[in-house]
């Protein structure tokens, strides 16, 4: 018998609720254990006192930035089944069962009941190579943002009466950030080259016109850290699924992208889609067809972003580079 435990994650602590029956009316709470491997050891010891072994435990937690990762990895290493679920879906579930209050204890109980009723899929931990790639890409993204901010400050300094000392400081800062960014990019490329699976997959992704090094690296990281059963799942994760709002004759909202998931990857995909509209035959044809039907340019670009993601999923699934003359499902 599986026992469901909801885990509400914060930076410093984990609040847990263990269901004692399938109805979710009886539970035991283990509150405020530390969010580290020592805290997980305490939790597993407590579960053992309840007569529950790791292979009989199913933990449900929300994806909360980076704070859930250490607990999830420690639980998986111990043989526990872990599910990482979308916070928005859990909140909607809570409303659906008339739970309106929101505390750490209540949230952990909602997660446990969500797991018992829906039995979400088990999370598969990413490989160490995929985790390292993600860390490198995140650091590169932060450095690129810092560099752009310093360039903006330099532009303002040049347009105003600014002391020479400030110009010197900005120049030194820009030189340092540019060197750091270059070194980090080199480290990213070397990391991928040293892992054949990453290297092969990046080559497949970059065989698609419109998918350059940055798009390829970020999608490579996403697709090696998560398991997607279909291109639609990948597009949904990236927030590229169209959302409609229609009810009777009075409510008819414009179709828009869901915009869930990582916004910085959508921004990169937007620029890639703009390039692909000119150079990728499949996406160019799709874009022209949608404009001919009267769709707006932004709507057509959203469809182009989604199509680009579908092509990326396709080349990795089939292990075949992009083929410009492939006509099925275009």
Q: Give the model's pLDDT for residue 324.
A: 85
Confidence at residue 26, expressed as pLDDT on a 0 to 100 scale:
62
Q: For the whole model, what pTM was predicted?
A: 0.83
Residue ranges in the chain whose pLDDT is less than 70: 21-27, 30-31, 244-255, 258, 326-330
CATH superfamily of 3-118: ATPase, nucleotide binding domain (3.30.420.40)
**Residue whose structure tokens are 């340019």:** 297
Query: Is there a contact between 277 and 283 (Cβ–Cβ < 8 Å)?
Result: yes
Sequence-ordered alpha helix ranges (H) in the chain: 37-49, 69-77, 87-96, 104-118, 128-158, 164-193, 196-205, 213-225, 231-237, 263-279, 281-292, 297-318
Under 8 Å between Cβ of 16 and 4: no
Q: pLDDT digits over 82-91, tens only?
A: 999 988 889 9
Where are the chain's structural domains? 3-118, 128-194, 213-318
Structure tokens at 123: 């999370």
Do residues 18 and 26 make contact, with C-beta atoms less than 8 angstroms apart? no
pLDDT, position 143: 96
For 139-169, how does the pLDDT look when each residue is reduced to its tens digit (9 = 90+)?
999 999 999 999 999 999 999 999 999 999 9
C-alpha span between 153 and 169 (Å, rounded): 11
- What's residue 242's pLDDT? 79
Cα-Cα-Cα-Cα dihedral of 289, 291, 297, 303, to 10°? -30
């Amino acid at each position: 018998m599986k026992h469901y435990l909801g885990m509400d994650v914060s930076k410093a602590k984990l609040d847990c609720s263990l269901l004692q029956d399938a109805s979710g009316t009886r539970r035991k709470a283990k509150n405020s254990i530390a969010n580290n491997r020592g805290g997980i050891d305490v939790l597993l010891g407590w579960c053992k006192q309840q007569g529950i072994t790791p292979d009989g435990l199913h933990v449900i937690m929300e994806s909360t930035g980076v704070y859930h990762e250490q607990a999830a990895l420690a639980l998986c290493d111990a043989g526990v089944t872990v599910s990482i679920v979308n916070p928005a879906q859990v909140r909607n579930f809570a409303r659906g069962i008339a739970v309106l209050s929101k505390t750490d204890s209540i949230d952990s109980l909602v997660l446990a009941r969500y797991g018992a009723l829906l039995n979400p899929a088990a999370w598969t931990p990413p490989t160490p190579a995929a985790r390292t790639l993600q860390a490198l890409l995140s650091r590169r993204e932060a450095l690129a943002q810092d560099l752009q901010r310093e360039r903006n400050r330099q532009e303002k300094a040049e347009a105003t009466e600014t002391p020479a000392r400030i110009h010197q400081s900005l120049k030194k800062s820009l030189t340092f950030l540019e060197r750091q960014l270059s070194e980090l990019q080199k480290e990213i490329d070397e990391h991928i080259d040293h892992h054949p699976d990453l290297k092969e997959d990046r080559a497949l992704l970059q065989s698609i016109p419109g998918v350059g090094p940055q798009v390829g690296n970020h999608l490579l990281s996403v697709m090696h850290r998560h398991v997607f059963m279909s291109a639609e799942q990948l597009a949904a994760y990236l927030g590229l699924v169209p959302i409609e709002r229609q009810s009777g004759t009075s409510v008819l909202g414009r179709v828009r992208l869901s915009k869930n998931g990582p916004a910085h990857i959508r921004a990169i995909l937007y620029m890639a889609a703009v390039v692909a509209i000119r150079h990728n035959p499949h996406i160019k044809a799709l874009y022209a067809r949608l404009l001919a039907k009267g769709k707006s340019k932004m709507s057509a670009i959203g469809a182009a972003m989604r199509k680009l993601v579908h092509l990326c999923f396709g080349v990795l699934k089939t292990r075949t580079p992009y083929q410009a003359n492939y006509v099925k499902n275009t």
